[in-house]
Amino acid sequence: MSCSIVNAKFAYLLSLCPNFIDSTMKMMINDHSNVATRHNFSVFVVLKHNPQTQQAQQAQQAGEFKIDSAFYKFADSSDLILGQLLQRFNNDVLGERINDIYMNARRSFEPDISGMIALCSIAALREIYDTQYIFVPIIIDYNKEGHRGMVHQTGLIITRDKVLYYEPYGCYKKYGLDYGKAVCKLFGDLFGKCETYHKNFGLPFGIQQKILNHNNDDSSFEENYSQLLAKIQEVIPNFSVVEIESDDKTFKIVKLVGELMNSMRGNDDVCLKDLLTTAMTYYCSYNSKTCVSITLVEMNKFFAMTNPEIQLVEYYEQFNDPNVKLFSEIGALFDKFKEKNKLKKILSESLDLQKTCMMIT
């Protein structure tokens, strides 16, 4: 497939740069007058993977996660001084209802100060805005030993009569365990009826799952990946990629891109620059680890729909060649930046997106 390297780098940047995610999310939300949110704010939900309580053990035996904890990040920080400012605002808006939030949250987990700030901040948004939608980024932390730091971008959509919980695979599962029920129970107890986004709109699975299935079935990947790796090792003999067990057969291209950028620091070899271009093309063509990009792209479409029950089905049907469609949509999102030409120049010239992340945020 043809691929814009700038779009590929944009998607890669969205996978590693929290402040850039916040900026892009703000840009996207501000394009929709029917949506309210708290900018630069996310709620993290930590799952129980090795439960100690009998109730949680029974849930996992039934194939379900329970919730271990929750916390907030505001401007990519969980600093309690910022949190106290948030909670002072929440106290003014919610008053004595904060006690109800605490008691309802306890049906799912025992919230600490950070957890209460997270949940009260959502409740305050619901109280002060009467928009068609309220959107809150929800980050799932799988909390699995040996996979620390593995998180997944999801989202909470609060309408006037229900709560929709969204995740881009549309499966609401990890490691064979369902987390959608636990998350929906928490927010349903707090804000009313909750359903998963895909069940509500009759969608069998999400865009990310469609891309995963497509990439896993693409027989060209292994040959292209092996040839690229061999060419890199001709220039960097000790170059290697640590592969992890995954149901995503093409996940290793993400690891290769990261390792190649690390190896290129201080190395101006023209051959390596060409190989990075090839690697980014494969990242664009085969990668399905794009939960942040998909969430931004899909929410941007969803919030603009006047009849989502029909339009979402039609939109999903456009993903017959899902990688091509996704990166076309990513390009359209990129074009919304006011300083897109400046950003395009930065990304075109960048060989180290980690450094670019620090530069632009």
Please list the pLDDT of the chain residue by residue as tens digits (361 residues): 457 899 999 999 999 999 999 999 999 999 999 999 999 999 999 998 766 666 766 667 778 999 999 999 998 999 999 999 999 999 999 999 999 999 999 999 999 999 999 999 999 999 999 999 999 999 999 998 756 678 999 999 999 999 999 999 999 999 899 999 999 999 999 998 999 999 999 999 999 999 999 999 999 999 999 999 999 999 999 999 988 777 899 999 999 999 999 998 877 778 889 999 999 999 999 999 899 999 999 999 999 999 999 999 999 999 999 999 999 999 999 999 999 999 999 999 888 888 888 887 6
The pLDDT value recorded for residue 361 is 67
pTM of the model: 0.94
Q: How far is C-alpha 328 from the geometric centre of its chain's CA atoms?
A: 18
Torsional class of 164: left (φ above 0), alpha (ψ -120 to 50), beta (otherwise): beta
Torsional class of 202: left (φ above 0), alpha (ψ -120 to 50), beta (otherwise): left
Residues 6+ positions from 169 with CB-CB distance below 8 Å: 205, 206, 208, 209, 212, 291
DSSP run (H or E) holding 358: helix 353-360
The total number of residues written for the chain in this structure: 361
Q: Position 309: which residue type?
A: E
Asked if 178 and 172 count as a contact pair (C-beta separation under 8 A), the reply is yes
* Nearest by Cα to 303 from 183, 166, 139: 166
The Cα angle at residue 145 between residues 139 and 148, in degrees rounded to 5: 40
The pLDDT value recorded for residue 56 is 62
Torsional class of 103: left (φ above 0), alpha (ψ -120 to 50), beta (otherwise): alpha
* Nearest by Cα to 253 from 206, 296, 211: 211
